[in-house]
Amino acid sequence: MKFPTSGVYAITQTEGKADHAIVKATLAALKGGAAVIQYRHKNPRDTSITLAQEIHRHCQHFNVPLLINDNIELAQAVGAEGVHLGQNDASIEIAQTRLGPEAIIGVSCYDSLDLALKAQKQQVSYVAFGRFFSSESKPKAPPAQLCTLSQAAQQITLPIVAIGGILPSNGHLLLNAGADVLAVIGGIFDHDPFTATQHYCRLFNTETET
């Protein structure tokens, strides 16, 4: 299963939520048209293999890849399609070795084109930039600039992901600047996930029509 070249990248919101509520919300996002799901948990000690397995089962039904945030071991345990790594997480080489050549590996590049170019040389699946707008999920993340997306679009051949405070009302700014995929947490899971995901998907339909 490949990482999508465009679409909505839904990142689970798990803090303070019961497993069944997380699964229900993720399933709603999948039904709404999410092209990829990331299982993210702020506290690794609270990570549930059973929960991740249940989410993966739904992802497989929709033929949508499941990525695990920062946790190669969990990705292996549940048979997820890959992982997303920050700069302080396990190395790209370790993830590639542990998960195999078909695994999807994404990397956070924040506002750094240099990090993205380095990751591209290491044959990752996608690069992610952000945060672009104020974000409750990532309040301390350093801000990223639209011009970084524009520069990346000229030099990066991988899918480019934008994240951070993205709403249906501002997502077009990122797509126009060069993003291929929009990663969203609160914009989906702070609302009805099915309807919210559909709203984001319309941004891509508009892109196609214009």
Q: What is the pLDDT of residues 159-200, one digit of tens each?
A: 999 999 999 999 999 999 999 999 999 999 999 999 999 999
Per-residue pLDDT band at 138 (split at 50, 70, 90): low
SS3 81: coil
Instruction: Give the pLDDT confidence score for residue 55 in this predicted structure.
Output: 97
Tokens 């997820």 sit on residue: 80
Q: Cα(first)–Cα(last) distance of the chain, in Å?
A: 29
Instruction: Give the pLDDT confidence score for residue 184 in this predicted structure.
Output: 98
Q: Domain range spanning residue 36? A: 7-65+110-209
Instruction: Give the pLDDT confidence score for residue 41 in this predicted structure.
Output: 85
Which token pair is 150? 């524009």
Residue 26 belongs to a domain = yes
- CATH code, 174: 3.20.20.70
Residue 80 belongs to a domain = no
**Cα dist. 70→24, 31, 42, 89, 128 in Å?**
23, 26, 10, 6, 14
Q: With contact defined as beta carbons under 8 Å apart, do 188 and 163 qualify?
A: no
Per-residue pLDDT band at 134 (split at 50, 70, 90): confident
- CA-to-CA distance for 116 and 129, rounded, in angstroms? 9
Q: What is the pLDDT of residues 99-131, one digit of tens each?
A: 999 999 999 999 999 999 999 999 999 999 999
For 53-103, strand residue ranges (E) read 66-69, 82-85
Residue 72 belongs to a domain = no
Domain count, the chain: 1
More confident position, 142 or 119: 119
Tokens 């048209």 sit on residue: 33
Instruction: Give the pLDDT confidence score for residue 84 in this predicted structure.
Output: 98
Residue 85 belongs to a domain = no
- CA-to-CA distance for 166 and 23, rounded, in angstroms? 22
Q: What is the pLDDT of residues 20-60, one digit of tens each?
A: 999 999 999 999 999 999 999 877 666 789 999 999 999 99
Q: With contact defined as beta carbons under 8 Å apart, do 167 and 202 qualify?
A: no
Q: What is the pLDDT of residues 54-89, one digit of tens each?
A: 999 999 999 999 999 999 999 999 999 999 999 888
Residue 161 belongs to a domain = yes
SS3 106: strand
Instruction: Give the pLDDT confidence score for residue 48 in this predicted structure.
Output: 84
Residue 78 belongs to a domain = no
Residue 37 belongs to a domain = yes
For 66-185, strand residue ranges (E) read 66-69, 82-85, 104-110, 126-129, 160-163, 181-184
Per-residue pLDDT band at 145 (split at 50, 70, 90): very high
Residue 103 belongs to a domain = no
Quote the pTM value.
0.94
